[in-house]
Structure 1
Amino acid sequence: MLTSLVVGVLLMNLFAAALVVARAPVYRTRLYRPMLLNLVLSAAPLVVLGVAVVLVLPLLVVGAPRAVVGVIAAVLGLVWLLLLPNSGYLITELNLNHRQEGERVPEWYDVLLVLVLAMSGVLTTVLNVFLVLLVGLAAVGDDSATALTSPQARAFEGALLLLVAFGIYLGRHVRLNSWDVTHPHLVAGKVLRHLRSPGARGNAIGFTLLGALFFALMYLVVIGPVVQGLVDLERLRDAGAG
């Protein structure tokens, strides 16, 4: 089940990239490079998560000092969290801003393109949240499927999705990038100035809550059956062992 989920998300991302690249030669127009950049940034959290697994879990197995492992995990976790909103950010491509007057690209192609692009971002987001939950449970030595349905797991997932939604808002409306965090004072000043503008706080709260709800529903649809399947398999295994 997990393999199918990962493969499906990767294929959706490849499909989106293929549509973006094919658009230029097929319809003899320019390649819209920002979309490709956004796709790369969308995949970046998965790459960081993979690096974290390759580095951190072996260190735990060989009994490396907990302080060293904790620092490495914290740094990689922060990088992953800062990059995570880039995946969900692809939903903002639905505005069709890439269409230029005079292009011969059919509207149906661009509608399909942005839908696939947005879905790749949504699926990548929910996969990231699920995988980091699995990694976290493995790190604390809890490999039971029922742990995935605990209140702590639900709170963790909800908090991450709220941060994702708020990060998307900051990216689209405040024009912040993940790497801007290297200038924290400038970022804080820019965010505060934006939130002081008329109506900005209401928009930020509304988008964050509704955006998080959207991602939560998608998480339920996509990840819910996987979790239920793992729980059922665990129960069957336990029943057979008993």
Structure 2
Amino acid sequence: MYAVITAVVCAVLLNVTAAVFIVLRATVYGVRLYRPMLVNIALSFVPVVLAIAGAIGLIVLTPALAGIGSAGISPALFLWGYLAIATVVWLLFFPNSVYLITELNLNHRERKTPVPLWYDIVQTLTLTVSGIANAVLSLAIVQFGLIVLVFDPVALTAPAASWVFAGVVIVLGAVGVYLGRYLRFNSWDVRHPGGMVRKLRAHFAIRGKTLEAIGFVVSHALLVALIYVPLFSLTVAALSVAR
């Protein structure tokens, strides 16, 4: 629990630091405050909140399962339903954290600006790292939860099935980033599937867009995986030693 709290605190500090850099940029150099970045920071932290809320929900629901069973409802079915809904909701917002990688294009920087290039590089890099931290932390919480509840609660290592889950999430996260950056989709656009399908058809009808999407997804997923896998593996190893 101490490790989780430490990780959450570090992620929060990264998000706060990124926001402070954005505000200082406008204050110190007298330029327009780039509000979209502040909004993206908030959206990026949503998966962390949802992952923690889902874990707390499980802790709260566990004592109530016996009562649910006495009411004629299958506790296992109720638990699986909760896990499915909580995971899907979290997954819809997960790409918002990885999305901050795309801020490295410095599209907020105007051609003529008093802001030094070094400042924008540090500010944007901090923003990107905060997003990656949010992605890693939220995915780690969910993967740990699935290991304990579904795969193998007594495993000293992460079961292969949990890695498959993490890999699928990372790829879907990269797909979500592509859809958000190039088709301007948001997590809540799933409420209008018909409109999403029409935009997708129009987009991929353009020659070269399919290959572009594949390259984007593969490269971004590889980057996140190369960061996530060793961090999660080291965490699991540390927990195994602690046992």
Could you tell me whether the CA contact under 8 Å between 2:15 and 2:127 is conserved in 1? Answer: yes
**Change in CA separation of 1:83 and 1:127 when aligned onto 2, cut-off 3 Å:** same
Any gaps of 5 or more consecutive residues in structure 2?
Answer: 69-74
Please give the TM-score of this superposition, normalised by the length of structure 1: 0.89
**Change in CA separation of 1:141 and 1:197 when aligned onto 2, cut-off 3 Å:** closer
Q: Which residue of 2 aligns with 1:84?
A: 94
Could you tell me whether the CA contact under 8 Å between 2:174 and 2:221 is conserved in 1? Answer: yes
CA distance in 2, matches of 1:30, 1:228: 47
Task: Find the partner of 1:181 among 190, 215, 232.
Answer: 190
For the residue of structure 2 that corresponds to 1:143, the secondary structure is: coil
Q: Which residue of 2 aligns with 1:237?
A: none
Identity %: 39
Could you tell me whether the CA contact under 8 Å between 1:147 and 1:153 is conserved in 2? Answer: no
Could you tell me whether the CA contact under 8 Å between 2:51 and 2:142 is conserved in 1? Answer: yes
Could you tell me whether the CA contact under 8 Å between 1:49 and 1:132 is conserved in 2? Answer: yes
Task: Find the partner of 1:120 among 123, 126, 130.
Answer: 130
Q: Which residue of 1 aligns with 2:220?
A: 211
Please state if 1:193 is matched with 2:197: no
Q: Which residue of 2 aligns with 1:48?
A: 50
Amino acid at match of 2:95: P
CA-to-aligned-CA distance 1:59-85 (integer Å, 9 cap, x gap)? 123213444443333222211101000
Q: Which residue of 1 aligns with 2:30?
A: 28
Could you tell me whether the CA contact under 8 Å between 2:171 and 2:218 is conserved in 1? Answer: yes
Any gaps of 5 or more consecutive residues in structure 1?
Answer: 235-242
CA-to-aligned-CA distance 1:86-107 (integer Å, 9 cap, x gap)? 0000010011111124431111
Please give the TM-score of this superposition, normalised by the length of structure 2: 0.88
Amino acid at match of 2:103: E
Please state if 1:131 is matched with 2:141: yes
CA distance in 2, matches of 1:7, 1:224: 20
CA-to-aligned-CA distance 1:7-51 (integer Å, 9 cap, x gap)? 222211111111112211111111110000000000011111222
CA distance in 1, matches of 2:193, 2:92: 13
Amino acid at match of 2:219: L
Cα displacement (A) at 1:141: 8.1
For the residue of structure 2 that corresponds to 1:105, the secondary structure is: coil
Aligned length, in residue pairs = 233
Could you tell me whether the CA contact under 8 Å between 2:157 and 2:240 is conserved in 1? Answer: no
